Amino acid sequence: MRRLYFRIILGMLVMVVLSFFVPAILFRMDGRRGHGREPGQGPRPESPVMLSGSAEILKTRLENVPPAELDRQLDSLRRFFRFPIVLTDLADTTIPAEIRQRGDTGRMVSEEIAGGRERVYVPLKNTGKVLILGRMAEPRGPDTKSIIIVVALVLGIVSVSGFLIMAPLVRDLRRLENAASRFGQGDLNSRAEVKSRDAVGSVARRFNLMAAGIQGLIQRERQLLQSVSHELRTPIARIRFDLDMLQNAESPEEQRRRIEEIDAEVTEIDQLVGELLDYNRIHSESLSVERTPVAVREVLEEIIARLHDFRPDVEIDIPLETDPECRVTADRMLFRRAVQNLLANALRYARRRVVIRCSRGEAETTVEVCDDGPGVPPERREEIMMPFNRGQDGGMRSSGGVGLGLSIVRRIVELHGGTLTVGEADIGGACFATRWPDRNPRSTGDSGKGTGKAL
């Protein structure tokens, strides 16, 4: 915005300067052309030599002319001279005081005027009259033609300067308007091609960022809708199949088995809906994140107590030397949900063991959940964090999930400014590492406390 202000102010200053100086320069050049004499053309008509000689001639011709005949005689002589000749009274106030005091003594007096020219006063004896040779010092008002020229020049300069200043702004605003119009009509790829660094360029870049965000949001919503439709279609189809088979069941045992399968399908749908609600809430822009110090071990004990019956055959490694001071700065509820999803995922794929570690660094705390399962190939480590991705088998019943858990975890960690990465565990399976930045980074002196502790 400041660039635009400076640009307009600078343009106005340029217009003012040009409006004042260009007409002045032009009139000065015109004046020089009018008063200048080329070499070899002789003296100017109003040079001292010309005026003095002409004054002597006129004085000789007019001194003996009766006063009543002076005007007529002077009119007949004016055509022989190339400068103005005026006959006036000695009492005229435009005549210098020196001439008026001397009276008509007959002595000529010369006076230098502007532009290097001279004016000669010739008193005529016994007449009370004075001849003035050269320009009279008349008060002159502004010339109408000059005013028109100046006004035209000023208007022209202002118009051209205003066009040069406003044309790029208007062009960029039209591009921004066209891009917004196309985007509003459904062209989600529409962007404003404005590369200027002024306020309009800033607005255009903000618009492009907004358009990209909206486009990504709509694409994710469409993908989510397609995925949900696909995920719901499978259990519904199995429910219909089990209902048909239930009607034709021949024994109570077969009926009970079909009812149990229908109940499992309903449970799957209920779990899917619950995960979708959580997914939508976590991705809501209005979600509030209240960061507080959270004890990792305390949260883990709550989660393990809840998931203990899920895989009782899997050992969760929590040694006695667990560091009770291992904390993260996070929203407790969201942190609990993220660790719960990671632990549930690890229990789902582990063979016999799950290990959780908490490492404290200079400006962040890392919580790792590792298992001894089949692991995740490097080429699929980004893919498994996408919505509705269920790992290697892709089946909900075999894996026990709907494919939203890791996507929710990544979103929670990103809300805290952290990252979620997948690597190879030292116990043979996959290792999911979440990094939780501290609100107030620790000093270097505290960075050595309790790094790499196992929980």
Which residues of the chain carry a pLDDT beneath 70? 1-12, 15-16, 18-50, 103-106, 113-117, 135-144, 285, 318-324, 388-402, 440-455
Between strands 315-317 and 353-360, the pairing is parallel
Going by C-beta distance under 8 Å and a sequence separation of 6 or more, which residues neighbour residue 403?
231, 387, 388, 389, 390, 396
- Assess contact for 342 and 409: CB atoms under 8 A: yes
**Cα gap 349→371, rounded to integer Å:** 7
What is the per-residue pLDDT for 113? 67
- Assess contact for 101 and 21: CB atoms under 8 A: no
Question: Which residue intervals of 283-382 are DSSP H helices?
Answer: 296-307, 332-349
**Cα gap 452→79, rounded to integer Å:** 116
- Assess contact for 450 and 326: CB atoms under 8 A: yes
What is the per-residue pLDDT for 6? 62
Going by C-beta distance under 8 Å and a sequence separation of 6 or more, which residues neighbour residue 68?
none
**Cα gap 352→373, rounded to integer Å:** 8
Q: 431, 422, 437: which is closest to 454 by C-alpha? A: 431
Whole-Å CA distances, 374 to 112, 385, 404, 428, 433:
112, 17, 20, 8, 17
- Assess contact for 367 and 328: CB atoms under 8 A: yes
Listed by start position, the domains of the chain span 48-133, 195-282, 292-454
What is the per-residue pLDDT for 447? 39
Q: What is the CATH code of the structural domain delimited by 292-454?
A: 3.30.565.10
**Cα gap 219→229, rounded to integer Å:** 15
Q: In the numeric block, which tokens belong to residue 71?
A: 């005007």
**Cα gap 169→165, rounded to integer Å:** 7
- Amino acid in position 286: S
Architecture of domain 195-282: Orthogonal Bundle (1.10)
What is the per-residue pLDDT for 227? 73
Helix (H, G, I), strand (E, B) or coil at 390: coil
- Assess contact for 413 and 369: CB atoms under 8 A: no
